[in-house]
Amino acid sequence: MSVTEKFLSYIKISSPSDENSQTCPSTACQLDVANFLANEMKNIGLENIRIKEGYVYAELLATKGYEDKTCLGLIAHMDTATDFNGYDIKPQIIENYNGEDVLLKGSGDVLSVSEFPQLKDFKGHTLITTDGTSLLGADDKSGIAVIMQAVEDIIKNNIPHGKIVVGFTPDEEIGRGADLFDVEGFGAEFAYTVDGGLPGEIEYENFNAVSAKITISGRSIHPGSAKGQMINSQRIGIEFDSMLPEFERPEYTENFEGFFHLIETQGSTEKTVLEYILRDHDGEKIKQKEKLLYDVAEYLNKKYGRELVKVETKLSYRNMKEQILPHFHLIENAIKATEQAGVTPKSVAIRGGTDGARLSFMGLPCPNLATGGMNFHGKYECTTKENMEVCVEVVKNIIKIYAQ
């Protein structure tokens, strides 16, 4: 099968994760993907294939005489996002794409060139979109397809290589992809996640991430006799949010600009809960954002003369840059491999996180490579055959470079 055929076979298997589940993987359908991949790995000639706690691992032993070369890992995730429908995916395949707007026939929505100008670069490609009723699953099944095709090509073409280890993780989209990853058993010295965007993008910086829960206590009194007695926790919640920097919100930020994002509110007069995620590439700035939440709570508690506002924060993940810089050959070799594939490399700061961020702090330095897609997590998600093929070449070139 080609990389495109692989990708289309993977997205047929629905596999959204579920943040409300406490199992690993969080959804049984991810095991369907795991079993499918394990069987395919066996067929293409990988060894020591195992499924452990929902994770899939396999090995490609080094070419004779290359046993002393770097043991390199390749990692992607099996789950799809929960932001939009991830079931019953019906892709649209448009050969020799004309560079114009695309009708998503299932929903009537339009993938518009004016809104997504990168589409112009895909003219002449075989474009793969959704039909508008679901996401596509290119995040990250295109990454899986790229890895599987690269490894298969290495085997079929007898390309000399050091030991290659492959790992596919569950539950990345809900922040648990690295939770039970067996770094020691995986055995790689270094690795790459293949979970990025357009060809040429190389990512080794990501957000520092903090989650925050703000609990506000109120006092419910019948509104007819509430004067001087009622404390409406919802209104204090609105006041709390209004005291955060207005333009440090996701809808106003880009590149290296961090933000406060109010992701959920639950409220009544008696009790209101605000849930935030805080993001910033700069380690000091994320600490300042976290401190501001406590400062606002302290101010409101003083204003109302009682302890009404409680803040709880938790570090979710850190910027992997500090773990990658001591091993910058990972980036230098990715740049070289990208240039060899005929693409201009571009260093991109991830406005989010990947399994690689946490794995880097678990002792496995792990920058991120492109998969060829864009507009992930929604109906406008798309990729192309040619983009995925370029990404395959980049991965193969990296393997060749580390075998030198």
Residues labelled as active-site residues: 79, 172
CA neighbor of 238 nearest in space, from 292, 274, 291, 289:
274
SS (H, E, C) 340-384: HCCCCCEEEEECCCCHHHHHHHCCCCCCEECCCCECCCCCCCEEE
Residue 403: partners with Cβ closer than 8 Å, 6 or more residues away: 63, 66, 69, 159, 160, 161, 162
Distances, alpha carbon 206 to alpha carbons 49, 75, 374, 375, 395, in Å: 31, 17, 18, 18, 21
Six-digit token pair at 321?
Answer: 């840059």
Instruction: Work out the number of other CB atoms within 10 angstroms of the CB of residue 344.
Output: 9
Distances, alpha carbon 85 to alpha carbons 134, 135, 144, 372, in Å: 5, 6, 20, 21
**Category of 232 on φ-ψ map: left (φ > 0), alpha (ψ -120 to 50) or beta:** beta
Gyration radius of the chain's alpha carbons: 23
Q: Report the C-alpha dihedral over residues 47, 50, 55, 58, rounded to 10 degrees.
A: -10
Q: Using the structure block, give the residue that is written with the tokens 């989650």.
A: 211
What angle is formed at CA 119 by the lines to CA 114 and CA 123, rounded to 5 degrees? 125
CA gap 144, 7 in Å, rounded: 8
| 368 bridge partner residues | 193, 203
